[in-house]
Structure 1
Amino acid sequence: MSKNRYSVGLIIVIVGIILLLGKLGVFGFVWGLFWPVFVLAPGLLLHFLYFNRVLPSAVLIPGGILVTCSILFFLCTIFGWSLMAYIWPGFIFAIAVGLYEFYTFDKYSPRGTLMAAVVLAILSGILFGVTILFTVGIYLIALVLIGVGAYIIFGKRRSW
């Protein structure tokens, strides 16, 4: 009977600790920070199942997309969701990653797979550049103007 009392007591203590941690907001904080793991886990599982020869290579497309998107979500949970204004082209890049993995690991992949991955990656890069230009472009223009003005003021003087 003492083993039974020990087990019941241990369960009651664990439930009490879980309730106390929940009331203190520990689970809300952990969930708010680590929820992208639930996006990352299926992507890693698809990769694991492919590399163990359980599933065909086509699962690398959603696997690559999920892993890349989870990285974007981790960045936003750590640095704030306002970062999404700058990194949104990463979702297009996620599709390019999935297609490129499929092309790399499937020797019978369709001919256009690599071309689609490259086009999407280039499009993502262009959109990322345009986003940076329009969001922080005025700062870049200001720095260039300061540099040009400083060069004119302090640069090598030429006599005419």
Structure 2
Amino acid sequence: MKRTILAPLLILLGAYLLFNQGGMISTGSIFATFWPTLFVIPLGLFFHWMYFSMVGRKGVGLLIPGGILLTAGIVSQIASLFDNWGTMWPGFILAVAAGLFEFYWFGSRNKWMLIPINILTVLSLLFFVVFSIGPVLSYLSIVQPLIAILLVLGGAWLILGQRKRG
């Protein structure tokens, strides 16, 4: 039991030290960085543990807050580690879809549940794409000359390859 709790904490602390080289480390900075892992994710796991170990199929409603908290905790932890809240916020919409999907999957499989699940998932993925395209395009502007050269070479190869065959 101790290893189960201690192992992820050691991994996260090591990752934090790796990414925060040269910065001051204090209890406040650790709490500010790892609050999702310390508070939100364990609460989501607690709801899952309650369902799978304690109450079983009659407590399927526990999976809705469990899925929401677990997914929101993972999204928050990634956003906190990499300081990219502007890109990761659609994960909170996906968190609701994840909680509802667990309720659907382990519950009575009411097909009408798939409507809000799919709407929320598509909306979340759409926002992820829209808010991620800016950083991707700014990265492409750095690599643009290389892409241009590859496109010119690819077109020339296609033209020269056609002449050899014809």
Please, what TM-score do these two structures have when normalized by structure 1?
0.69
C-alpha RMSD over aligned residues: 2.7
Question: Within 5 Å, which residues of 2 pair with 1:7-156?
Answer: 26-36=26-36, 37-51=38-52, 52-53=54-55, 56-79=59-82, 81=83, 83-107=84-108, 110-140=110-140, 142=144, 145-153=148-156, 156=159
Pick closer, same or farther for the CA change 1:106–1:137 going to 2, 3 Å. same
Specify every segment of 5 or more residues in structure 1 that has no aligned partner in the other structure, as ranges: 1-23
Pick closer, same or farther for the CA change 1:103–1:126 going to 2, 3 Å. same
1:21 is matched with none
**Deviation digits for residues 94-152 of structure 1 (CA, Å, limit 9, x no counterpart):** 11100100001112x54421222122112211221222223423544736544323323
Which of the two has greater helix per residue?
Answer: 2
Specify every segment of 5 or more residues in structure 2 that has no aligned partner in the other structure, as ranges: 1-23
Q: Distance in 2 between matches of 1:27 and 1:75?
A: 19
| Seq. identity, % | 34
After TM superposition, give the deviation of residue 26 of structure 1 in Å.
3.4
Q: Distance in 2 between matches of 1:146 and 1:126?
A: 31
**Deviation digits for residues 60-119 of structure 1 (CA, Å, limit 9, x no counterpart):** 11111111111111112222x2x1222221111111100100001112x54421222122
Aligned residues: 134
After TM superposition, give the deviation of residue 56 of structure 1 in Å.
1.9
Please, what TM-score do these two structures have when normalized by structure 2?
0.67
